[in-house]
A = this chain, B = another copy of it.
Amino acid sequence: MRDTFQEQLIQARRNLIIDAAIEVISEQGFQRTTIKQIASKAGIADGTIYNYFKNKDGILTAIIARLSEGEAEDVNAAEAEQVDFETFISTFVSNRMAEMDSSFQTLKVVLPEMIMDADLSTQVYEQIYAPMFSVMEQYFEELIALGQIDAVDPALAARLFASPLLGMMMLRLLDDEHVATNWALYTEALPEFLLKALHKDEKSAE
């Protein structure tokens, strides 16, 4: 009981620091951000941070860990529940788009570091994206087997399918104004875009 309370306090403190870190780092990058800035934003002293994190990299690791928390479940769910393709797409799109929107600052922190650090990239990719693609590949395999989409390499299909969403993310990260202000519009437009792009071409079947 006491331990649990203590642990919760510690978790709260860690979260406080992580929140502050994300806010500052998302504006200027991890390297350019100093421990002092993070501590100052969190309203604590520099040294205190080292009671909660081993070192500066530990903060980044914690930020990444937070990112992987809410992932891949609905994909599994969709697959498990055998929802039809159209429903799956719209669910998938709105979930991913909502996710990107809500964790935008975190992505701004993590993605540059992933691009710059091969090890980190591999680690996060295998942890977050690989499982997602794995599930999607299985899903697409089934769809192909069912004849609902054209027969292609499922791995390729999964990545083609994901690409517009990743592209939206890229545009958001690059501060494209139209995308930033019309996020909802893109969330609406994407399902049909994907559906048409992936759906079996009726004419070619004739």
A interface vs B, CB < 8 Å? 27-29, 31-32, 108, 111-118, 121-122, 125, 129, 152-153, 155-156, 159-160, 162-171, 173-176, 178-179, 182, 185-186, 189-190, 193-194, 196-199, 201-203
| Nearest B residue (CB) for A128 | B174
In angstroms, Cα B170 to Cα A77, docked, is: 26
| Nearest B residue (CB) for A178 | B155
Contacts of A176 in B (CB 8 A): 125, 129, 159
In angstroms, Cα B185 to Cα A31, docked, is: 37
A179 to chain B, nearest CB (A): 6
Contacts of A174 in B (CB 8 A): 114-115, 121, 125, 129
Query: Once the chains bind, are A118 and B27 in contact (CB under 8 Å)?
Result: yes
Number of identical monomers bound together in the oligomeric complex: 4
Q: Can you name 28 A-B residue pairings with CB atoms under 8 Å?
A: A28-B116, A28-B117, A29-B113, A29-B117, A31-B32, A32-B116, A108-B115, A111-B112, A115-B174, A121-B174, A121-B175, A122-B175, A125-B176, A129-B174, A152-B189, A156-B178, A156-B182, A159-B178, A160-B193, A163-B165, A163-B167, A163-B171, A164-B164, A164-B167, A170-B170, A193-B198, A197-B197, A202-B203
